[in-house]
A and B are shown apart, each in its own frame.
Chain A
Amino acid sequence: MAERTIRLNAVPSLRRRLLLRLLVPLFALFGISGVCAYWLAVHYSSSIYDHWLYDSVNSLALLVSPGPHGAQADLPVAVEKVFVWDETDPTLFNVTGAQSGVLVSNADLPPVPDDAERYVDGFFYDGVLADGERVRVAALPLSADRAGEPVWVKVAETGTERADLIEHIFLAVLVPQLLLITAAFFAVRRGVVDGLLPLRRLTRRLRAQGPQALQPLADAGVPEEVRPLTQALNGLLGRLNALFDTHRKFIADTAHQLRTPLTAIKLNIEEALAENDIERTHAHLLRLRASADRATRLTTQLLSLARAESGAGLPDRFQKIDLARLAHECGAAWVPRALAKQIELSLHRDDDPVWVRGDPLLLREAVDNLIDNAIQYHPGHGQIRLDVRATPEPRLSVEDDGPGIAPELRSVVFGRFQRGDQTGRGGTGLGLAIVSEIAATHRGRVWLEDTRSGRGIRAVLELPPPRDG
């Protein structure tokens, strides 16, 4: 039983809790009321018996009168028979004078103890007969004025009859009580189970949901108390569905995007294999390399995006970072590639550090992507300028003198697989999505704006300063 209790307690159960909370106090109340009823019944029945005993002792006292030598008791045989007769308990009596001794008696009754209970003119007490039987005694003292000498009139009865009555009362109280408890137990249990039925129905409905489509739960039949729960659940299901949709679409897009360079790779390999002319084979190989580059770039960007996403909600990796220094380190690595396209990459900053709070790896990724993007979409022969400043908010901007992006497309290009131009010049359409993801993780912003010269575009990444200023 103990084991069972422990096991049951392991998982909190609403049903068990309700049953316990309802049944334990209910049973306690039934128990207390039963005890009270029993006690009252016993009390009143014994006072009735006592009263009868007192009447008997008074009746017997009427037979005592003063005689020539103290007191005398006149008890005709017929009267004694009537007086003594009882179906179960013979009535015992004893009238004893202080001087004359026993006047009339059919038993030796115990003397009146000091702690006898007073009742009107007499006393009640419990005593034991010589043969060991317990008796209830009513005793009435008669004064010398009244009886010629002090006389004790005592009437007693054995406990058998009273015990029988008490037993009857006990049963009369106990049996209905038990029936009541049983009925209450079933009623409460039924009520609790019925009351919790909506929850079980809800569970069944939730369990029936497949992983493919998460349907919101209908409000119909859901009790008022459970409704906030189902509504919260529906909100969660809705967000999950949206997330699943995004991911499904993203995977489909990714597969599609990878398929393009892979197709080009396959075609060019076949062409190259079929070609005898070394010049034309070389041309196919060059296209092959461009396609492989594109696939490579795409996987790299996808990994980068995955990192940016998993970086969300990990502010414990955040630290104080000098954005100017970060721009220097990232930018320096891009210089050779920019120069290869005849693009001059330059950095403009004050000597003071520009402090931000962030994940160094993710911020590096963001800056790299902004520069990469600028180089990628630049036709060549031009300038890309990095600016880092601390006011009004810490920000890094990457400005180019390339073709620019039409104003209506500027918010679109932050979406995944969205490019500002449709030339597909090797770009994956993920770069700005990655930057946007990282900016959001850092509670920063990224946007595109016109340059002062009107040519090209400026991408601005703004980050909140560290909390300590």
Chain B
Amino acid sequence: MAFNRLSSTDAGATFRRDHLEDEAVRILVVEDDDTIADAVMHGLRRSGHVTERLADGESADATLHHEHFDAIILDLGLPGVDGLTLLRRMRGRGDNTPVLILSARDTLDVRIRGLDDGADDYIYKPFEMAELEARLRAVARRAIARSGGDVAVGPLRLKPGERRFYLDGTPLELSPREYAVLEVLLLRHGQVISKAQIQNRLSDWNEELTEAAIELYVHRIRRKLSGSIATIRTVRGFGYLLQSDDG
């Protein structure tokens, strides 16, 4: 969470490596500051996205009543109807479009309120384009997976409709539990996933999974990924990180 606050050239480099690839989506940017909005839209278009911009909450609210977007980048400090109100209205009428919040105030309050009101993620100003894209990608990826669309990270592609992973176009043979573990790692790509998070995700199986069991599944998945640039890295004391390149 502190990551986005302290930006650096080094961090930017890691995010730059993969763009949204063929997950081109239609994004609404609701931001009243022209400079920031222009830069964000420019960056997103360069990654092949279709973007639209609205500068106030009222017109965004009106537009969202009859238009669909794949994701929304929402500034909290809007003139008129503010970001959180807009978000509450959307969720109130059952609009589940993924929302990434932009905030100039990096306090826990904003984060908690935003997530309570149905935001999918948040990012604080000042941020970097690469960081914004990474988060947007993660948000969009989860939304796409929820609605049954394909999600790809590097050579690894998840087809939720088939409940199957493909590596460089070849189907991967995974057990249901291995599939679930890899799904968690892929949908939260770029984040370190703790064993506890994986345990939570697999709790559907009605039986307690030990950490040793999770280590075993990860070991098996690694074997099946060997030879590809997609790897699962162990971060000691923290958990696992899915990487789609040599970084």
Chain B residues with Cβ below 8 Å from A290 are 9
Q: Which of A's residues lie within 8 Å of B, judged by CB?
A: 286, 289-290, 293, 296-297, 300, 303, 307, 328-337, 339-341, 344-349, 360-361, 364, 368, 371-372, 386, 426
B8 touches A328 (CB 8 A): no
Q: How far is the CA of A437 from the CA of B33 in the complex (A)?
A: 35
Query: What are 30 inter-chain pairs, A to B, with CB distance below 8 A?
Result: A293-B8, A293-B9, A300-B106, A328-B194, A328-B238, A331-B238, A332-B192, A332-B235, A332-B238, A332-B239, A333-B3, A334-B3, A335-B192, A335-B235, A335-B241, A336-B14, A337-B6, A340-B10, A340-B11, A340-B13, A340-B14, A341-B10, A345-B235, A346-B238, A348-B237, A360-B108, A361-B107, A368-B2, A371-B2, A426-B8
Checking B6, B9, B237 against A372 with a beta-carbon cut-off of 8 angstroms, the contacting residue is B6
Q: Which residues of A contact B190 (CB under 8 A)?
A: 336
Could you say which residues of chain B place their CB within 8 Å of the CB of A346? 235-238
When the two chains form the complex, which single residue of A293, A300, A344 contacts B236, counting CB atoms closer than 8 Å?
A: A344
Q: How far is the CA of A349 from the CA of B192 in the complex (A)?
A: 17
What does DSSP make chain A's interface, helix, strand, loop or mixed?
helix
A341 to B5, CA, bound (A): 17
Judge if B161 is at the interface, Cβ distance under 8 Å.
Answer: no
CB interface residues, B 3-39, toward A, < 8 Å: 3, 5-14
Judge whether A347 and B8 touch: CB under 8 Å: no
Contacts of A337 in B (CB 8 A): 3, 6, 8, 10-11, 14
CA distance A386 to B108 in the complex (A): 23
Contact across chains for B236 and A336 when beta carbons are under 8 A apart: no
Q: Chain B's interface: helix, strand, loop or mixed, by majority? A: loop
B9, B11, B241: the one within 8 Å of A286 (CB): B9
Residue of B2, B13, B241 contacting most chain A CB atoms (<10 Å):
B2
Provide the bound-state CA to CA distance between A328 and B239, in Å: 10
Say how far A148's CB is from chain B's closest CB, in angstroms. Answer: 121
**A333 with B1: in contact, given A339-B14, A339-B247 (CB under 8 Å)?**
yes
Complex Cα distance, B35 from A256, in Å, reads 27
Cα A345 to Cα B8 in complex, Å, equals 17
A364-B2 Cα distance, complex, nearest whole Å: 9
Is there a chain A Cβ closer than 8 Å to B191's Cβ?
A: yes
Name the contact of A335 in the complex, choosing from B7, B107, B238 (C-beta under 8 A). B238
Q: Is B92 an interface residue (CB 8 A)?
A: no
CB-based contact A296/B10 at 8 Å:
no
Contact across chains for A300 and B237 when beta carbons are under 8 A apart = no
What is the distance, in angstroms, from A318's C-beta to the closest C-beta of chain B? 14
CA distance A295 to B194 in the complex (A): 33
Instruction: Give Cα distance in the complex from A348 to B238, angstroms.
Output: 9
List 8 additional contacts besides A296-B7, A307-B107; criterion CB under 8 Å: A293-B7, A329-B1, A330-B2, A333-B192, A335-B192, A337-B6, A346-B236, A346-B237
Chain B residues with CB under 8 Å of A426's CB are 8
What residue in chain A is nearest B4 (Cβ atoms)?
A333
Contact with A along B93-120 (1 / 0, CB 8 A): 0000000000000111000000000000
Q: Which residue of chain B lies nearest to A348 when distances are taken between CB atoms in the complex?
A: B237
A290 to B13, CA, bound (A): 13
B126 contacts A by Cβ under 8 Å: yes
Q: Please give the distance in Å from A345's CB to the nearest CB on chain B.
A: 7
Tell me, rounded to whole Å, the shortest Cβ–Cβ distance linking B23 to chain A. 20
Please give me the residue from chain B that is nearest to A342 by CB atom. Answer: B247
Which A residues are CB-close (under 8 A) to B192?
332-333, 335-336
Distance A337 CA – B8 CA, assembled complex (angstroms): 9
Chain A residue with Cβ nearest B10: A340
**What 0/1 pattern do residues 204 to 244 of B give for CB contact below 8 A with A?**
00000000000000000000000000000101111101000
Shortest beta-carbon distance, A202 to chain B, in Å?
44
Q: Which residue of the partner chain, among A300, A344, A360, A386, contacts B5 with CB atoms under 8 Å?
A: A300
* Shortest Cβ distance from B241 into A: residue: A335
**CB of A397 to closest CB in B, whole Å:** 13
Q: Chain B's nearest CB lies how many Å from the CB of A9?
A: 45
CA distance A386 to B5 in the complex (A): 21
Contact A345 B10 (CB under 8 A): no
User: Closest A-chain residue to B126, C-beta based?
Assistant: A296
Task: Point out which of A293, A303, A331, A426 has the most chain B C-beta atoms below 10 A from its C-beta.
Answer: A293
Tell me which residues across on chain A come within 8 A of B11, comparing CB atoms: 336-337, 340
- Complex Cα–Cα for A37 and B206 (A): 106
Measured in the bound complex, the distance between the Cα atoms of B128 and A337 in whole Å is 14
Tell me, in angstroms, the Cα distance from A426 to B238 when the chains sit together: 27
Residues of A within 8 A of B235 (CB): 332, 335, 344-346
Instruction: Provide the bound-state CA to CA distance between A391 and B215, in Å.
Output: 30
Q: Are the C-beta atoms of A347 and B237 separated by less than 8 Å?
A: yes
Q: How far is the CB of A308 from chain B (nearest CB, A)?
A: 13
Residue of B6, B13, B237 with most chain A CB atoms under a 10 A cut-off: B6
Q: A324: nearest residue on chain B (CB-CB)?
A: B237
Give the chain A neighbours of B191 by CB distance below 8 A. 332, 336
The answer to whether B9 touches A345, judged by C-beta atoms less than 8 angstroms apart, is no
Shortest Cβ distance from residue B108 to the other chain A in the assembled complex, whole angstroms: 5
Q: Which residue of A lies closest to B190 (CB)?
A: A336
Residues of B within 8 A of A345 (CB): 235, 238
Contact between chains at B237 and A328 (CB < 8 Å): yes
Q: Which residues of B have CB within 8 Å of A329?
A: 1
Tell me whether B238 and A347 are in contact (CB under 8 A). Answer: yes
CB distance from B185 to the nearest CB of A (A): 13
Within 8 Å by CB of A297, from B6, B108, B239, lies B6
Given A330-B2, A333-B1, A372-B2, A349–B247 Cβ distance below 8 Å? no
The 6 closest A-B pairs by CB, nearest first: A347-B237, A346-B236, A368-B2, A332-B192, A340-B10, A340-B14
Residues on A with beta carbons closer than 8 Å to the beta carbon of B9: 286, 289-290, 293
